[in-house]
């Protein structure tokens, strides 16, 4: 039950170099497992400043504080985000199947 006493910190400020590394690691993990639309990449950063992936979750909880805070941090609203997921799914469903 240690996780219950661990504070949740969302939308943290990172130095530019570390931000670029975290972004690159997350994008690589996202594409490596074939995610689309949305997903969550959990990572940790060592005291030396090296980011590493703990878990890639292609279907994370949509209504999490971390997601809502993160969207806000990049200038998007939660309703806008959900609408974009629906639009993308509809667009995909209308494409002719290849094969």
pLDDT in the model for residue 99? 53
> What is the number of domains present in the chain?
2
**82 domain-assigned:** yes
**46 & 80 share domain:** no
Whole-angstrom distance, CA of residue 57 vs CA of residue 42: 8
Question: Residue 41 in 3-state DSSP?
Answer: strand
**17 domain-assigned:** yes
State pTM to two decimals: 0.74
Q: Among residues of the chain, what percentage have pLDDT more than 90? A: 48
Per-residue pLDDT band at 13 (split at 50, 70, 90): confident
- Determine the structural domain holding residue 44 and report its residue range: 11-60
**80 & 48 share domain:** no
Contact at 8 Å (CB) between 60 and 40? yes
**83 domain-assigned:** yes
pLDDT in the model for residue 97? 67
Q: Which secondary structure element, helix H or strand E, spans residue 40, and what is its range?
A: strand 40-45
């Amino acid at each position: 039950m240690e996780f219950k006493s661990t504070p949740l910190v969302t939308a943290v400020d990172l130095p530019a170099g570390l931000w670029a590394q975290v972004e690159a690691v997350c994008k690589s993990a996202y594409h490596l497992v074939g995610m689309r639309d949305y997903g969550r990449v959990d990572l940790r950063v060592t005291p030396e400043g090296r980011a590493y992936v703990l878990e890639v979750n292609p279907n994370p909880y949509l209504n999490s504080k971390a997601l809502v805070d993160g969207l806000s941090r990049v200038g998007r609203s939660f309703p806008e985000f959900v609408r974009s997921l629906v639009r993308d799914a509809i667009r995909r469903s209308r494409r002719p199947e290849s094969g």
